[in-house]
Amino acid sequence: MPEPDFNLNENTVSDNFDLKRQRADALTFLAPLLFMLLHAIFLNLAAMGIAVIHYLVNDVSLTAFSETQAFEHLLLESQAQNWSSVLLGLVMSPIYLVYLKYRSRKYPDILLTERAPARYWLTGFSAIMGSLGISMIWISLLIYMGDFIPVIKEHYHNYINAAEALQHLDGYFWLEILAVVIMIPIAEELLFRGILQGEVRRVAPAGLAVFLSAIVFALFHILPFQIAFVIIPGLVLALVYELTRNILIPIFMHMVYNFFGGGIFSRLAGLPDDSMVLFWVEMAFIIIGLILLVLLILERSKAKKSIRTEV
């Protein structure tokens, strides 16, 4: 994905952002809400449209639309979730960029695209892999609790069913990679980090923007287990974006998370479902990611102190 035509110089106005915040306007609140609504509506309508097309082309029985289990099977067979995600990326991502370009004329720091050294990319990779490790521990704990708490077990099965709707073993693996690893990360990062976090950080402390971006991002996934699975990565994505000041880094991190966390790497590598190789790699990255993240925080903190001293 080519970099949008924004200011790429280091030490830009965004470095001084915490020293002088801007006033809120109507778009500060309305734009994120409107785009999140459009995002959800487009995704669902596209999925329904693809399912209908599949029904018409393949002469599927009308019972597929009246019975829940049959309809879920229709969605899986038509790969409606993945196709709608691809369409979402193709249609909504350019719209998000156009909006951010428009807002950048008045607020140049709405979308951060400063040049990032290689160590920032390494930090992003390590941090998101570490967050995946923490998420796996957290999810494993919830699954264990599900043996004693029926409602948790029910939510877990709902999550598994939703995840399986994105997987198709018969010739659609490439589509899953395109949707889950490429299109979804680009669209969601432009929406939640670019628009939502960008609008909030204009008028509020950066820490609040990071927190809101992570919480709204998690809640947007609706299913309780899915929320639990993405809440920690969402916080890491928002924090690293704020620290590195380059939207391409959280997009890259999101791609990495979906590639490994979505089981795509395991299937490409031929790893069995009970393989512990990736698990221990994720555990190692918890430590590596934490160390690199702390170093980046200290680096940015030192830079801000230097700026305040100069001012």
* pLDDT of 229: 86
Residue with token string 């952002």: 17
Q: Does residue 237 lie within any of the structural domains?
A: yes
* Structural domain count, the chain: 1
* pLDDT value at 170 more than 90: no
Q: Does residue 11 lie within any of the structural domains?
A: no
Q: Does residue 221 lie within any of the structural domains?
A: yes
pLDDT > 70 fraction of the chain, expressed in percent and rounded: 82
pLDDT digit string, tens, across residues 107-162: 999 999 999 999 999 999 999 999 999 999 988 888 888 888 888 888 777 777 66
Q: Read off the pLDDT band of 63 (50, 70, 90).
A: low
Q: Does residue 287 lie within any of the structural domains?
A: yes
Q: Does residue 51 lie within any of the structural domains?
A: yes
* pLDDT of 69: 63
DSSP state of 10: S
Q: What's CA 195's distance to the chain center, in Å?
A: 13
**30 is in which domain, residue-wise?**
21-310
72: left (phi over 0), alpha (psi -120 to 50) or beta: alpha
Q: Does residue 16 lie within any of the structural domains?
A: no
* pLDDT value at 249 more than 80: yes
Q: Does residue 276 lie within any of the structural domains?
A: yes
Q: Is 20 exposed, middle or buried (0-12, 13-18, 19+ CB in 10 A)?
A: exposed
Q: Does residue 230 lie within any of the structural domains?
A: yes
